[in-house]
Structure 1
């Protein structure tokens, strides 16, 4: 990746940007030295229609200043190779990125607690986990990560503001009336839920490359921030639920803020 940046070549990198915060900063510095944004990180939720509608609502001020966010990320099952730290590193990382984007705010602390464990998990896994975040502007966020919920792939989000709330819509589904019941099906994996978001993400990135423009999606700095925050979440989990301050470097002017 660093060689591509040095040659001025656009880079699309699936998350994580790198496996350590230090290596992420090397990428950020490589871009800065080149003098132009070249890297986009594959956080596809920013390209989902429902999340974009939520972003528009929050930006418009229709529900007032955000105060609280409630989130859930549920999978029906995970393989035995899935370990407890992956709840932050592989699962919650998507929530973390889109929270920063939706709120235009930075996460400053994280606490991970473990309620009663489900009997449906492999014995080595702590599941579910509750992640509690606070942002620089004082927004409080609770995130349920439950990767053995059995019933389906279920992504939920509700942002409570001073004047109202905005809720992420469920995927469109037909209603079924049969056998004395009325209901809708629940998606079973991420492909059905975010397939369109992946398509939009790649179309927009390819269009930016074709036009010779800088990418507009998640940046190398966003990749760095997500890694620092998930590291803090893992530290909290392994400490038994202590509140961990997110130790993030000052955001450089190259990435949109004064250093």
Structure 2
């Protein structure tokens, strides 16, 4: 039981660390204009069905502002006014085709000055097609389950007896389902290619996500053909390294 609790704790901590250090983690923060607080969060990835909403949280009624944006492959800029609504300054950037990247800058105007938020930073958002919750949640659970089992197998290195071979089979199944089925289905939705001509194979599959299944195919063969527990530890370490550094 202690090893299972340790594996769960490590998997949760790794998942949290990966999410907050991801290059797709939203840009967020708090700044002050004339001594008044403004809070913001700007997405780097957008999978919605509607327009992208840009909003700033503030209780200052005297503030207004604007957003200057353009597609990254275009020099044509557009300016949108930030409108006041229930404690927010907000505007909507029109929904774009999947894989479109936009660049924008956000400005707030007070009585005496114009301030860019965040200071001196051009923001970028990549549009992707909407992915159903059933697909995205299943994908996350499957990846977490594979990561959890990988860590648990690694901890069997310290156990006299264990069911590591059985765990290895379920780990291989989990990562195979994740990389060979769920990721391509997710990409179909992200590319807006559902009920359309399928995209190229390289656009459907992700090499880093396929590496997990390959690792556990090799590790499983090694575990079934050797009594050495080095395979257990090697599989866990390789999975964590790929999860944190490559994927």
| TM-score of the superposed pair, with normalisation by structure 2 | 0.23
Higher relative contact order (CA 8 A, sep 6+): 1
| TM-score of the superposed pair, with normalisation by structure 1 | 0.22
